[in-house]
């Protein structure tokens, strides 16, 4: 049976190096499930695979979009499932690697059929938020979808706005569109999770941010500063440096905020992933055990009975 191996874990845990080794073991290309690596111009801040790493193993969904392009988890689901149908013609096993929770779930479980949001509606609600704040939007959501209103984090303005966008586009409550039922896939899914002790992970995150700054993260942020209003740049690493570039804080403060916010994000990732009982967890240094586990569940073709 065709297989998809999903290598996941929090930011900074060490997915990239292990993923390359696994890809070579499996003779597989790598599908990136990172919601920011898909954009061009963010190679340093997203820790995108280097040109040398991409030459070593074929990668998909890395630097294939412009920052101005709209993209979503539902689009990612559709494109990856279509790509897997093609790749599985020549590869028994394909490897997907990343830490974007919604993107991973979109491929593994599918997401509900949510209407594409009209750009004029998105701009209208953004203008309303900018001019009036989140409260009027919350009240509209409460009227149109009281069920989701009572479930959503009302302090998370992005989720509140997105829910209202969907209600207005679909003409029905967002909560009615959320079935949370997994879609059947024509391939087996094996999930490998990478984890480290919290102190070890935090130290790696701090070191990685310092390394990114040495590699030119500030210059990268400066090069896209004029596009800072875009959703693609509403992410850790860039937001903090934009604050520095606009004179709101010192560079040292911005760097410390990047480290802090990255650590917070890693905790959110682990909270999300820990809910999935299908994930088998390993330390990133346990390469041999990981390969043995994969081969046990997904034996090479040469080992399959005739």
Model confidence, pTM: 0.82
Cα(122)–Cα(129) distance, integer angstroms = 11
Task: Say if residue 107 is in the same domain as residue 251.
Answer: yes
Task: Please state, in angstroms and rounded to a whole number, the distance separating the CA atoms of residues 60 and 42.
Answer: 16
* Same-domain pairing of 152 and 273: no
Task: Please tell me the total count of domains within the chain.
Answer: 2
Helix (H) or strand (E) holding 58: none
Residues 145, 292, single domain; the answer is no
Both 148 and 206 in one domain: the answer is no
Whether residue 239 is found in the same domain as residue 262: yes
User: What CATH number is associated with residue 18?
Assistant: 3.40.50.300
Domain identity same for 18 and 57: yes
Give the pLDDT of residue 71.
87
Domain span at residue 173 reads: 119-177
Measured N-to-C along each axis, helices 287-297 and 15-26 cross at an angle, to the nearest 10 degrees, of 40
Other CB atoms within 10 Å distance of the CB of residue 49: 23
User: What confidence tens digit (pLDDT) does each residue in 139-157 have?
Assistant: 999 999 999 999 888 888 8
Model pLDDT for residues 272-282, shown as the tens digit of each residue: 999 999 999 99
pLDDT above 80 for 260: yes
Residue 107, Cβ density class (10 Å: 0-12 exposed, 13-18 middle, ≥19 buried): buried
pLDDT value at 254 more than 50:
yes
Rounded Cα–Cα distance for residues 4 and 6 (Å): 6
Q: Report d(CA 96, CA 102) in Å as an integer.
A: 14
CA contacts within 13 A on the Cβ side of 34? 30
């Amino acid at each position: 049976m065709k297989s998809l191996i999903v290598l996941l874990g929090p930011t900074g845990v060490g997915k990239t190096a292990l993923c390359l080794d696994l890809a070579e073991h499996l003779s597989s290309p790598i599908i990136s499930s990172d919601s920011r690596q898909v954009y061009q111009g963010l190679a340093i801040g997203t820790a995108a695979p280097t040109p040398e790493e991409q030459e070593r193993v074929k990668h998909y969904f890395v630097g294939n979009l412009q920052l101005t392009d709209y993209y979503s988890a539902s689009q990612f689901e559709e494109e990856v499932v279509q790509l897997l149908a093609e790749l599985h013609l020549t590869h028994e096993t394909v490897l997907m690697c990343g830490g974007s929770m919604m993107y991973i779930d979109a491929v593994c479980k599918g997401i509900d059929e949510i209407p594409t949001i009209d750009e004029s509606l998105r701009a209208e609600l953004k203008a309303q938020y900018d001019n009036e704040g989140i409260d009027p939007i919350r009240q509209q959501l409460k009227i149109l979808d009281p069920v989701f209103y009572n479930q959503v984090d009302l302090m998370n303005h992005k989720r509140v706005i997105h829910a209202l966008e969907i209600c207005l586009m679909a003409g029905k409550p967002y909560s009615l569109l959320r079935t949370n039922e997994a879609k059947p896939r024509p391939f087996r899914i094996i999930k490998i999770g990478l984890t480290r002790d919290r102190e070890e992970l935090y130290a790696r995150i701090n070191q990685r941010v310092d390394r990114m700054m040495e590699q030119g993260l500030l210059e990268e942020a400066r090069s896209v500063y004029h596009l800072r209003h875009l959703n693609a740049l509403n992410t850790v690493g860039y937001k903090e440096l934009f604050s520095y570039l606009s004179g709101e804080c010192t560079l040292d403060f911005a760097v410390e905020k990047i480290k802090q916010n990255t650590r917070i994000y890693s905790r959110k990732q682990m909270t999300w992933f820990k809910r999935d009982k299908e994930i088998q967890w390993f330390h990133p240094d346990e390469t041999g055990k990981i390969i043995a586990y994969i081969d046990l569940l997904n034996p090479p073709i040469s080992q399959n009975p005739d």
